[in-house]
Structures are given as C-alpha cells and as structure tokens.
Amino acid sequence: MTFKQYMKRAWPLYVMIVPGLIFVLLFRYYPMYGVVIAFQDFSPAKGFAGSPWIGWENFEFFFSLPEFGRIFSNTLIISISKIVADQVGAVILALLLNEARRILFRRTIQTLIYLPHFLSWIVLGGILLDILSAGGILNQAIGALGIKPQLWLGSNDWFRGTVISSGFWKNVGFSTIVYLAALTAINPVLHEAAAIDGAGRFRRIWHITLPGIRPTIVLLAALSLGDVLQAGFEQILTLYSPAVYRSGDIIDTFVYRVGLISAQYSLAGAVGLFKSFIGFGLIVLSYWLADRYAGYRIL
Amino acid sequence: MIRDRNWFSRLFDGANYIFLTLFAVLCLLPLIHIFAVSLSGRAPATAGFVSFWPIDFTLENYEQVMGSRNFLRSLAISVARVLTGTSLSMILVILTAYPLSKTPRVFRGRTIFIWFFVFAMLFDGGLIPSFLVVRSLGLLNTLGALILPNAVPIFSVILMMNFFRDVPKELEESALIDGASHWRVLWHIYIPLSLPAIATLTLFSAVNHWNAWFDGLIYMTDTANYPMQTFLRTVIVTLDLTQVGINPQDLQRLSDRAIRGAQIIVATVPILIVYPFLQRYFISGIKLGAVKE
C-alpha cells in the first residue's frame, strides 16, 4: 500500500487528533517549558525567554528555608495516613457490605456512603467549618459527655487528624467500589465447596474472600504510591489557617502562597518543579509495580 | 446460597447491619445538620440550638440567597461553564480517543501519539507555569480560563480509548469495505455502541466542572467573574457575607450561619439531582477502565 492509498483512507484519523494535540501542547507542554522559570529570576514583563538565568539559586534558597523540611514532612505524613486509612477502611467496609445479604439494604448503604465523594471541598469545607467551630455541634456533643471543647481546625494538635478523618469521610465510601467489584468476581462455588467441607463463615472470609481480592489490594497499594505527594491541596487550602501552618502546610499550599499570593514566581516555580520531578518518578514507579505485581496496564 | 444458622453468625449479621447503618447515617449527619440550620430562624441558628431538625422554621434564608444578584450571577457562570466545558471536553475526548484506539497499522504513528498524551498526563508543569501560560494567552477573567486548560482530560481519553478497543472489529471492517469513512464509522458504530461510557464520562465531567473552584480563584481577578463554588468560598470560608449583597436590614433578621447553610445546600442540590444517574453509570464506568486487567 502506497502512502497515498494509505492516506486516502486514514486522513480523518489525523484530522480528529489535531484538536486534542493542540490543547495538550498549549496547556500541558507549554507549561512544561515554563518550568524554566525555576532557573531564572523571572519577571512577567520579560517572559519565559527574556528573563535572566540564575542557575540553581532558587533551589538553594528553598532548601535553606525552614519551611522546606516542614512542608515535606507534613505532606508525607498527611498523605500516607490518608492512603492507609482509606484503603484499610475501604477493604473492611467492602467485606462488611459483602456479608450483608439483603440487596436493598446494601444498595441503600452504598448510595449514602458514596455521596460525599461528589461534593466539592468548598461545600464539605463549609460544613466542617460550621460543625467543628468552637460552639459547633461537635463540641456541643462532646460537651454533653463532659469533654472540653477543642479547636479542631485551629490547633496544631488536631489539624492533621481533622484533615485525615474528613478526607476519609469524603472518599472511603467511593474507594469501596473497586473492592466490591472484585468481590463479585469471586466464584460462589468456592464458598459452597468450603461450606460443605465444614468451613465456618469467618474461615471462608479469611481463606476465600480475602485472597480473592488480594490482587486488587496489591494493585491499589502500588497505584497509591503515585499519590504520596498529593496530600489534598483543595481540602487543606479550604480548611487551614496561619495558626496551623506548622502541622498543616503542605507543598502545594506553600507553592500557592509564595507564587500566587506573594508573586515570587521563580521560587514557587522551583518548589513546584522539585515536586513534579519526584511525583513523576513516583508515578512511573507505581505503574511499573502495578504492572509487575498485579498485571495492570493503563494502555 | 449458604445459610449460616449458628448463633454467632446471626449475632455477627445483626451487628453488621447496625454498624453499616450507623456508618451511613454518620456520613450524612453533617449534611442534615446544615440543612436543618438553613431552615431555622435567626435566634436558634445563631445560638447553636439546632441539631437535626429546624427550629422556628423559615424559608427566608433561601429566599434571600436566591434573590441575591451576586449569588445568581455566579450561579449563571457555573451553569455556563458546565454546559460549554462538558460539551467541549466530550467532543475532544471522543475525537482523540478514536484514532488512538486503532492499531499502528491502521493509524500510523499511534505509538508516538499515545506517548505524547501519556507523558503529558504523568508530568505536570506545575501550578505557577500553568498560571503564567493561561495569563499570557489573555484568558484571565474569561470563561475560557475555566474550560480550556483541562479541555482534554487525558485519563478520560484513555478510558474512552480502552472502551473503543472493545468494540467488535468486524462491524468496522465491513463498514470500511462498504466504503464508509472513519467519520461515519465513528458516528454510526462507535458512538452508539459506547453510550454507557460516554454517559459516564459526561456526568463526571459535568460534576467536576460544577465542583471546581480553585481555577476560578486564581484566573478571575474580578470577583464578579467567580463561578459559584469560588463565590461560595469567599462567603463560607473567608466568612465575608457582605459579598452576597443582601441588604443589611434583612441580614439583621437572619442568621449568618443559616444563610451560609442555605448556600451550601443550594450548591449541593444539582449534585443530588444527577446523583441517581451518576450512580447507575459510574460503577460500570470505573470497571471499564480503572481496573481493567
């Protein structure tokens, strides 16, 4: 087949892909070129091409800041706690839902626990700011039990815990979906055979149900590695305040403040690039692990 | 069906039903509380007497919110963004996914194109360069800043592509032999057969557009251009109720908390409306791509 014959048939395919290519070039690749600001003393008037180059200065400055260690450890502590809580919670909830035999009951519970996932952090944040306020309903409730009111969002003792549990609230229900899908794929014959052999309910859960979803657990554990630097930017930006920077300021919120509030583009760009670089490595590693140990490929 | 009839198993069942019910109720209680506050009068709402049932029932909080011009303007921007952003995204996702779903023999260069998209998904230029690009394109304070930067959600393209690949090849081959172009094959074979996947991605895109607020915050320098969720942020998070533009005499009769609550509920209602449809599709939607093995 000559090129001309090929193109006679295939030309629409190239026309179709052009709009997507242009958008991705403009809004994904052009910003990648824009990371050069990390090595510049960038000024918007001179642009990416005209700003003076200063080498690694922005990075050196960032590494010397006291915030450097703080935002990294906060990011890692919050995101890893979230991942562990979410996955463990989702497995347990999925197993319990799977044991509830009444279909209507199960559907109803599922419908209710998925819902917070579809609400924005502004809506959930507005709710949290109200119920967790000094005189809010949570403090009233624990007050009735004789416990002193706490500043759930305003104290460094509680802030991380609040972020982790409210993240759990938003996402754990939705995370059960993948496990529930895996559970329906377990052949019921296995359970029947085990029951005939005298295995009780909990032995069947332990020896059949859990091994049945093990590949899914491994897969999600591998993929979650790619999210280790995502501690929940929109959530924390909604909930935090200067009082809790010590325990709650993460890389993304720092970049936002330095870059877009104080307009120190180059410094924020350097921090962002540092994060993108590690993040890229983590995602590639997580996909490699997912392929290696769970046979998962996105393509 | 196995029946476990021993007492321990039954006890477990009972405990399980109770636990799951409590957990689901706990997930919803905060929302119910805010709903109750939003329907309450000034004194009980401000004093924090309202728990899960309104006290001094009133609809005036909602009347004030829905009568506020600033709120309605932001609502209109959000609706415009959902409609235009979702349609644009879906057109682009379908058009991009179709060629990528072909083999390299049918679509030469597929491998290069696919890596072009996958790399763009994996490596992120970051917040600051993205912001500078959008600004240099002159998009600040336009609807374009809200819909163009993420008009091609690459993960959705990959889901769509995987779905297209499962369409039986025989249909396409016979159509092509009969002289149909790729346009017709896409329109008459692929799209009709992929409606569940398209519906899923459309709903997700719409929900994302409705919920997005950070882009509004950074790309709109004039608060008059804020979409609703960004507008709500100024009201709810930074507690600046003057933004709502309710006249001060009215505000004196009402509770700040209740007004905020009413706005939270108004922002939630559209999600509740599409939720049954969303739920019908998203389980199949997630299975079709995310856990494909």
Q: Looking at the domain assignment, is residue B89 inside a domain?
A: yes
pLDDT above 90: residue B21: yes
Q: Are residues B31 and B78 in the same domain?
A: no
Chosen domain end from B184, B203, B219 = B219
Asked if A16 lies within 8 A of B96 by C-beta distance, the reply is yes
| Together in a domain, B176 and B96 | yes
Are residue B74 and residue B163 in the same domain, yes or no?
yes
Conformational region of residue B168, where left means phi above 0, alpha means psi within -120 to 50, and beta covers everything else: beta
Alpha-carbon separation of residue A111 from A97, A177, A179, A297, B268 (angstroms): 12, 11, 16, 30, 15
Residue of A nearest to B154 (CA): A24
Q: Which residues of chain A neighbour B9 with C-beta distances below 8 Å?
A: 200-201
Residues B12 and B80 in one domain: no
Helix (H, G, I), strand (E, B) or coil at B153: coil
B186 assigned to some structural domain: yes
A120 token code pair? 């924005």
In a domain, B232, yes or no: no
Among A127, A169, A272, the residue with its CB nearest the CB of B128 is A272
Phi, psi of A152 (to 5 degrees): -65, -35
Label residue B293 by pLDDT band (50, 70, 90).
Answer: very low
pLDDT in tens, A264-298: 999 999 999 999 999 999 999 999 999 998 888 77
Using DSSP, state whether B180 is helix, strand or coil: coil
- To the nearest 10 degrees (0 to 180), the angle between helices A57-64 and A66-99 is 80
- Are residues B59 and B82 both part of a single domain? no
Backbone angles phi, psi at A53, to 5 degrees: -85, 140
Supply the mean pLDDT for chain A. 92
The Cα–Cα gap between B125 and B113 comes to 19
Residue B25 scores a pLDDT above 50 = yes
Q: Does B220 touch chain A (CB under 8 A)?
A: no
**Assigned CATH topology for domain A56-294:** MetI-like fold (1.10.3720)
Query: Counting beta carbons within 10 angstroms of the beta carbon of residue A17, is it exposed (0 to 12), middle (13 to 18) or buried (19 or more)?
Result: buried
B36 touches B54 (CB < 8 A): yes
Q: Are A186 and A104 in contact (CB under 8 A)?
A: no
- Containing domain of residue B115, as a range? 69-219
CB distance from B92 to chain A under 8 Å? yes
Question: What sections of chain A are H helices per DSSP?
Answer: 3-24, 30-34, 47-50, 57-64, 66-99, 103-114, 121-131, 137-144, 159-184, 188-196, 201-204, 210-224, 233-239, 245-248, 251-256, 265-294
Residue B290 has pLDDT above 60, yes or no: no
pLDDT tens digit sequence for A129-188: 999 988 889 999 999 999 999 999 999 999 999 999 999 999 999 999 889 988 988 888
- The candidate with the shortest Cα–Cα distance to A38, out of A272, A227, A255, A229, is A272
Amino acid letter, residue B10: R
Residues 6 or more apart in contact with residue A187 via CB below 8 angstroms: none
Give me the residue spans of the domains in chain A.
56-294
Nearest residue on chain A to B9, alpha-carbon basis: A201
* Assigned domain for B185 exists: yes
What pLDDT was estimated at residue B276? 83
Amino acid at B147: I
In angstroms, the separation between the Cα of residue A104 and the nearest Cα of chain B is: 12
> In the predicted model, what is the mean pLDDT of residues A74-101?
95
What is the tens place of the pLDDT at every residue in B37-65? 999 988 888 888 888 999 889 898 898 88
Nearest to B291 among A181, A272, A283 (CB): A181
Nearest by CB to A32, which of B125, B158, B275?
B125
Distance CA A58, CA A49 (A): 18
Residue B237 lies in a domain: no
Residue B60 lies in a domain: yes
CA atoms of A4 and A8, how far apart (whole Å) = 6
What one-character-per-residue DSSP string does B214-260 give? HHHHHH-SSGGG--HHHHHIIIIIS--GGGG---HHHHHHS-HHHHH
Closest CA relative to residue A111, chosen from A180, A165, A167, A209: A180
Predicted confidence band of residue B144 (pLDDT cuts 50, 70, 90): very high
Residue B85 lies in a domain: yes
Q: How far off is chain B from A188, nearest CA to CA, in Å?
A: 8
Q: What is the mean pLDDT of chain B?
A: 88
Crossing angle between the packed helical segments A57-64 and A265-294, to the nearest 10 degrees? 80
Residues of chain A numbered 60-89 and touching chain B (CB < 8 Å): none
Closest residue to A191, CB basis, from B2, B17, B267: B2
Q: In this predicted model, what pLDDT tens digit does every residue of B280-289 receive, in sequence order? A: 776 655 554 4
CA distance B248 to chain A (A): 22
pLDDT of B39 reads 93
Helix (H, G, I), strand (E, B) or coil at A40: strand
Based on the domain organization, do B18 and B30 belong to the same domain? yes
**Boundary-marking domain end, from B171, B203, B219:** B219
Candidate from B123, B236, B261 with C-beta closest to A122: B236
A1 pLDDT exceeds 90?
no
How many domains does the structure of chain B reveal? 2
B24 and B112 inside one domain: no
Among B21, B94, B128, the strongest candidate for a mutation testing the A interface, having the largest count of A CBs within 10 A, is B128
Range B1-11 burial, b when 16+ CB lie within 10 A, else e:
eeeeeeeeeee
Least confident of A139-148, B90-99, B182-191, B234-243: B234-243
Percent of chain B with pLDDT over 70: 89
Pair B79, B170 in one domain: yes
Interface A–B counts its CB contacts (< 8 A) at 264
**Residue B175 and residue B85 share a domain:** yes
pLDDT at B4 over 70: no
Q: Which residues of B touch A44 (CB under 8 A)?
A: 132, 135
Note the Cα B164 to chain centre separation in Å: 23
Is A276 near chain B, with CB under 8 Å? yes
Q: At B192, which CATH number?
A: 1.10.3720.10
The torsion angles phi and psi of B168, rounded to 5 degrees, stand at -55, 130
Residues B183 and B264 in one domain: no
Classify residue B204: in a domain, yes or no: yes
Q: Closest to A201 (Cβ–Cβ): which among B4, B100, B293?
A: B4
Q: Is A142 on the interface with B (CB under 8 A)?
A: no
Residue A144: both structure tokens together: 């009735």
* Predicted local confidence at residue B242, as pLDDT: 64
Please, which residues 222-241 of chain B have a Cβ atom closer than 8 Å to chain A? 229-230, 232-233, 236-237
Q: Give the end of a domain, one of B181, B201, B219.
A: B219
Q: Which residues 120-159 of B are in CB contact (within 8 Å) with A?
A: 120, 122-137, 148-152, 154, 157-158
SS3 A216: helix
Q: List, for residues B230-278, the tens digit of each pLDDT value.
A: 999 988 776 666 666 666 666 666 778 888 999 999 999 999 998 888 7
Q: Residue B87, exposed/middle/buried by CB under 10 A (0-12, 13-18, 19+)? A: middle
**Which helix (H) or strand (E) segment is B72 a member of?**
helix B69-100
Are B183 and B164 part of one and the same domain? Answer: yes
Q: Which residues in chain B have their CB less than 8 angstroms from residue A135's CB?
A: 48
Inspect the interface and report whether the beta carbons of B136 and A47 lie closer than 8 Å: yes
A200 touches chain B (CB under 8 A): yes
Cα Rg, chain A, nearest whole Å: 25
